[in-house]
Amino acid sequence: MKACWGIKQERTDNLEEEVTKLKQELAAARDASARKEREMQAMSAKLERELAAARDSLSRLASGGQQGIGNSNRPRIRTSQILPDTTWALPAGMREKLKGVYDNTKDNKEQAITCSSEVFLRLNLSLDGIQELAKSATSFAEYEEKVTREWELACKQQALGEPEVRRKMAEKIPGGCEERPLSGILQDEEARRVCGRGLTEALCAVQAVEREAGSASETKAEESNSKFSMEQGAQAIFGKLDEFHGGLVERIGLPSKLDNLRDAMKEEHCKRADSKEEFTPSNYSTPTTPEQEWNAIMDPERREQLSEGPRKIQSLEDLMDKEPVKEAKLQDIEVIALLLYTGPMYFKYNQVLRAGAAYKGNKYTTTIHCVVSGVIKL
């Protein structure tokens, strides 16, 4: 009996030692991760300082700081020829929304959340980030500057995610290997220059398409918006934030099937000209299509297949049972829309919200309205 007790005690001691060892390893891993993050932040700050110094040097050169060196007849270089004006302006109406967030962050949180939701949908910035920037800013001017900068970076990240841009970049990078495919561009200054030129060409092509689409949408906006009115069943789903929804309706119109919003959403993803066309957002490595994304949520078999990898997709039924969903009184169509928005489809919706343009005639009108409604309730 004593021998058995001794064996059990020894096993218990061994387990405690293993647990202690695992805790120590976990703590060490966390410390290493924190150190790595601090190093990355320091490196980022250093790069920003170097960039600022380079800009100062260019400005001095442009203003004649090098006058008298070399050929005195050489034409003076203007700053505008070296660096374009890098100041972005917020979209129309956004400054007032930001002011609402900033003014109400401390005293009226509900109103601040409402304004934040509108900024989130228009600028594609996280709700938490929008509100945290408001809390940390010492003035509205500082807050506006920070939000504008974050929006600028988000737009540029999305542009760099365009397949044509990424392919052009890949074509211009020489050498490398499977383990280090980008080693060529890190070693060859000429490759950097050529890649930059190719990237510029690709971005210009993308911007030309966006301008053409935006121009076409303006001519149709009046005609399309006059066909709908927000009455009866629509009020239950879209009855809040009249002023904001008015702007949204002006931009993308109203859903085509107010009596069957789920069916309208399905048509937007499965029966439109772009439904089977592949696209790849910047933060997803695998191409997908709108139809595939709809099936990933609504088709149990497809959802199970996709959930085998790193991406885990919860069923609509499971989500409807979640306490936050019940507390917010979300409807199933709102949950579906939010699920789609948290996946690759955010890329498509944001293109519509930013440019106000339909790609191949598809503005995802019903889905975007349901996303708005869900975000407001949350």
What does 307-345 look like in DSSP terms, one character per residue?
Answer: TTSS-----HHHHHTSHHHHHHT--HHHHHHHHHHTTTT
Residues 169 and 253 in one domain: no
Asked if 334 and 374 count as a contact pair (C-beta separation under 8 A), the reply is: yes
The verdict on 332 and 347 lying in the same domain is yes
Structural domain count, the chain: 3
Pair 205, 319 in one domain? no
pLDDT in single tens digits along all 378 residues of the chain: 555 555 656 666 667 777 777 777 777 777 777 777 777 777 666 666 666 666 666 555 555 444 433 444 434 434 334 444 567 888 877 888 888 888 888 777 777 777 777 776 677 677 778 888 888 889 999 988 888 888 888 777 777 766 777 777 777 777 777 777 766 655 545 545 555 555 555 556 555 555 554 555 444 444 333 323 333 333 333 334 444 445 677 778 778 777 788 999 999 999 999 999 988 876 677 788 999 999 988 888 888 777 666 667 778 888 888 888 888 888 899 999 988 988 888 888 888 877 655 667 788 989 988 888 888 777
E-assigned strands of 65-184? Answer: none
Residue 78: how many CA atoms within 13 Å on its side-chain side? Answer: 4
* Domain boundary pick from 174, 193, 227: 227
Residues 245 and 171 grouped into a single domain: no
Question: Are 249 and 287 in a shared domain?
Answer: yes
- pLDDT (0 to 100) of residue 221: 41
pLDDT at 358: 62
Q: What is the 3-state secondary structure (H, E, C) of 252-311?
A: HCCCCCCCCHHHHHHHHHHCCCCCCCCECCCCCCCCECHHHHHHHHHCHHHHHHHCCCCC
| Residues 123 and 147: beta-carbon distance below 8 Å | yes
Residue 84 lies in a domain: no
Residue 268 and residue 343 in one domain: yes
pLDDT at 83: 43
- The answer to the question of residue 244 being in a domain is yes
Provide the token pair at 231.
């009455």
Residues 245, 281 within the same domain: yes
156 and 166 share a domain? no
348's enclosing H/E stretch is helix 346-355
Burial (0-12, 13-18, 19+ Cβ within 10 Å), 366: buried
SS (H, E, C) 150-204: HHHHHHHHHHHCCHHHHHHHHHCCCCCCCCCCCHHHHHCHHHHHHHHHHHHHHHH
Q: Show which of 170, 199, 227 is a domain's final residue.
A: 227
* Residue pair 62/73 in contact by the 8 Å Cβ criterion: no
* Domain limit, last residue, from 110, 133, 160: 160
d(CA 224, CA 219): 10
Q: Rounded CA gap, 165 and 192, in Å?
A: 15
Instruction: Give the model's pLDDT for residue 318.
Output: 85
Q: In this predicted structure, what is the pLDDT of residue 207? A: 54
The token duo for 312 is: 């885990």
- Do 178 and 156 share a structural domain? no
Return the pLDDT at 357: 58
pLDDT, tens digit (0-9, with 9 covering 90-100), for 209-226: 555 545 554 444 443 333
Q: Is 28 within the bounds of a domain?
A: no
Rg of the chain over all Cα atoms, to the nearest angstrom? 27
Whole-structure pTM value: 0.42
**Do 235 and 368 belong together in one domain?**
yes
- Long-range CB pairs of 122-129, under 8 A, 24+ apart, other chains included: 122/91, 122/94, 122/97, 122/353, 122/354, 123/90, 123/91, 123/94, 123/147, 123/150, 123/151, 123/154, 124/151, 124/154, 124/158, 124/346, 124/350, 124/353, 124/354, 125/150, 125/151, 125/154, 127/375
Q: How far apart are CA 35 and CA 304, in angstroms?
A: 38
**Domain of 148, in residue numbers:** 91-160
Residue of 279, 281, 293, 274 lying closest to 158 (CA atoms): 281
Residues 296 and 368 in one domain: yes
pLDDT for position 66: 40
| Nearest residue to 114 (alpha-carbon basis) of 125, 132, 101 | 101
